Amino acid sequence: MGAKLLGATQIFAVDGVPERLAMSRELGADVTINYKERDPVQAVLEATGGRGVDVAIEALGTQATFESCLRVLRPGGVLSSLGVYSGKLTLPLDAFAAGLGDHIVVTTLCPGGKERMRRLMNVLASRRADLRPLVTHRFPLEKN
C-alpha cells in the first residue's frame, strides 16, 4: 500500500503463506509469488523482461532473502534492508554485480521516529490507505 502511495507501478510480494499473499493482493500487490512453489528471483526477472526492479525491500533478515533482493535489482536499483540479521551477513559479489551494478543498499530500521509516525497518521486521516482488512479480531476493553 505504501509503495503504491509513493508511485510504484508494479509491486511484487513474496511469501510462503497463501493467506499473506492474498492480503498482499488486497492491499495493492500486483504480482504475488509463493516461494515454496516458484523461485522468486526467476519469477521477478521473467515478469520484468530480465530488467529487474527499481527497489527491493528485504524485511525478513536472512542471507537468502538479502541475496534474492540483490539478484532482482536493475542496474542502479536500491535494496532497502529492513530485516534484523541475527547472524553473519555477506555480500555475494556475483549478486552485487561485483560492484559494477551501481546498486544502493540502504540499511535502516524504522527511520524518522515521531516524524514518520506523524506522516503515517496523516495518510490514514486522509483516507488514502484503508487498513481495515488488517483487523481480524475485536475485543471489548471490558474483557481484560
pLDDT of residue 110: 62
Report H helices in the chain: 2-5, 18-26, 40-47, 63-72, 113-125
| Second-level CATH architecture of 2-134 | 3-Layer(aba) Sandwich (3.40)
Q: What is the pLDDT of residue 18?
A: 96
**pTM (2 d.p.):** 0.79
Let me know how many helices (H) and strands (E) the chain has, helices first: 5, 5
What residue spans define the domains of the chain? 2-134
Which parts of the chain register pLDDT below 70? 97-99, 109-112, 143-144
pLDDT (0 to 100) of residue 31:
97
Residue type, 137: H
User: Which amino acid is it at 115?
Assistant: E
Cβ-in-10-Å burial (0-12, 13-18, 19+) of 56 comes to buried
